[in-house]
Structure 1
């Protein structure tokens, strides 16, 4: 009986070690000198920050980092505002074609991203958006998944609560921001986290639409850095990869409760 109770914990420990080992090895390699990177010891014998100083001073890493921050923050703010607003309108307002509009929005989830690349690029070329921030941003400013998620949560808000606010003289904007939004805050938090992570890690579209090295996002910049400037300098490649995951770790540490709650509630909906 004792073994049966300990077995799940043992399996979790084994799984955690397997999943964390590449990350630990990456951080360890970033702290090693070039001649020590093939040393099999996980803990560096002579840890150094020279790799971090070199990559920050001799590459465009800071510029790529800021580009990713700009893209991830703007798209996240846009998705949270527009998707929440559209979800609220579809859930709480009756108008002709509401169901059709919602079905059309859901249908966008069935189209693979790879099939949208060509229309996106044609649109970018037509409007002169290639090799610009706007060219990277516009495909992610609204998402069908976000509208669907927020609509499902907005439907759970009692209509009597909203009607009571209207009777008290509140306008629709105040009702949305002061009553509806606080009721679905866990869903908004989860959507914001998922949106930020997906845009931070986006690679294919920024690779296609951006040509200038100074406008590259971090994943694209690291790809060119590892195949060009750094070549086989694995200590520098691992250093860049380690810095790139710092924002994601901070987001998880600060918003872990919302991530878990959001995933749970999303599954329920």
Structure 2
């Protein structure tokens, strides 16, 4: 390099040194955080951890309460852990009453009810969101208006209908009255309207009708929304208490878990220890369901209400 080229080379070197550093590919292509950004990130993590602790603390207290003797449930001052850890409380739950029957009935009612709701909501959502027919929007508004009616107002009319059909104290009465929900139809309609119409038009050019387009194109693209609706519906049936309490006569035969939890309170007192243990047991299936479908739940909730034409 000659002496004449040294100033130019030095200027180029200085310019490169002063230029902002390019994002490191090994760091995911993201620029390094500033001091303010790092502080915000720390506070965000702290807020998430505090919120998680607030929501988890009642579950932790209920779990340790299920291991206490019944006489120490309301001891003062309150303690998290009792004088002894009674793991036998979880086994005594099944000896106290027909708890296995309650669990089996809840699984049958929740799974069957969820399948019926999925069948009805997906087809109705497809009809309201993808098909064009006269009076569609007016019927949909009328359908949504049923969401404003509280369940307590419908209890007596529904019970009279069940009596008329002869379905009192049957599985049909626990499932069918809530199988035609406007919420599920609205959720599926919103998701279906976000799917490009060109996909369905291309299928119709190839000779596919509405039913085939729904089964082979639209429904496979709606797995996330179906997962969201499945979880919400399963939880609704699983936690339903008022309607099973009213429409069920023989609790030992057709009682569900929420009704079974109330059976630990009687004339001779309440077995709070067993009731807490039974509540912890009843939480296991729903917790597993949410964990398994977590990825689809996040995606479905994020996408369900964004589309529309």
TM-score (norm 2): 0.79
Q: Measured at CA, do residues 44 and 178 of structure 1 come closer, stay the same or move farther in structure 2, by a change above 3 Å?
A: farther
Match among 258, 278, 282 for residue 219 of structure 1: 258
Q: Which residue of 2 aligns with 1:25?
A: 61
Q: Which residue of 2 aligns with 1:235?
A: 273
How far apart are residue 125 of structure 1 and its match? 1.3
CA–CA separation in structure 2 for the residues paired with 1:191 and 1:60: 30
Q: Measured at CA, do residues 255 and 11 of structure 1 come closer, stay the same or move farther in structure 2, by a change above 3 Å?
A: same
Q: How does 1:183-198 map to 2 (within 5 A)?
A: 183-198=221-236
User: Contact 1:230–1:237 (CA<8 Å) still a contact in 2?
Assistant: no
How far apart are residue 28 of structure 1 and its match? 1.2
More helix by share: 1
Q: Measured at CA, do residues 266 and 161 of structure 1 come closer, stay the same or move farther in structure 2, by a change above 3 Å?
A: closer
Q: Which residue of 2 aligns with 1:105?
A: 143
Q: Measured at CA, do residues 99 and 5 of structure 1 come closer, stay the same or move farther in structure 2, by a change above 3 Å?
A: closer
TM-score (norm 1): 0.90
How far apart are residue 155 of structure 1 and its match? 1.7
SS in 2 for 1:86: helix
User: Contact 1:80–1:192 (CA<8 Å) still a contact in 2?
Assistant: yes
How far apart are residue 199 of structure 1 and its match? 1.2
Of stretches 17-26 and 248-257 in structure 1, the one that deviates more from structure 2 is 17-26
User: Contact 2:244–2:259 (CA<8 Å) still a contact in 1?
Assistant: yes
How far apart are residue 253 of structure 1 and its match? 1.2
Q: How does 1:81-120 map to 2 (within 5 A)?
A: 81-120=119-158
Instruction: Give the number of the structure with larger relative contact order, counting CA–CA contacts within 8 Å between residues 6 or more apart.
Output: 1
Matched, 1:260 2:291: no
> CA offsets per residue over residues 236-263 of structure 1, 9 Å max, x none?
1111111011111101111112222222
Of stretches 15-24 and 232-241 in structure 1, the one that deviates more from structure 2 is 15-24
CA–CA separation in structure 2 for the residues paired with 1:118 and 1:40: 42
Of stretches 60-69 and 171-180 in structure 1, the one that deviates more from structure 2 is 171-180
CA–CA separation in structure 2 for the residues paired with 1:34 and 1:157: 55
> CA offsets per residue over residues 24-83 of structure 1, 9 Å max, x none?
111112233446655955356643431111111231111111111111111111111111
Cα RMSD for the two superposed structures: 2.3
Q: Which residue of 1 aligns with 2:243?
A: 205
Q: Measured at CA, do residues 21 and 160 of structure 1 come closer, stay the same or move farther in structure 2, by a change above 3 Å?
A: closer
SS in 2 for 1:268: coil
Structure showing greater Rg: 2
Which structure 1 segments of 5+ residues have no match? none
Match among 74, 79, 102 for residue 64 of structure 1: 102
> CA offsets per residue over residues 8-32 of structure 1, 9 Å max, x none?
4333333332322221111112233
SS in 2 for 1:32: coil
> CA offsets per residue over residues 202-247 of structure 1, 9 Å max, x none?
1111111111112111111111x23128833221111111101111
CA–CA separation in structure 1 for the residues paired with 2:208 and 2:201: 10
Matched, 1:165 2:191: no
User: Contact 2:114–2:230 (CA<8 Å) still a contact in 1?
Assistant: yes
Which structure 2 segments of 5+ residues have no match? 1-35
Matched, 1:7 2:46: no
User: Contact 1:55–1:236 (CA<8 Å) still a contact in 2?
Assistant: yes
Q: Measured at CA, do residues 109 and 6 of structure 1 come closer, stay the same or move farther in structure 2, by a change above 3 Å?
A: same
SS in 2 for 1:243: helix
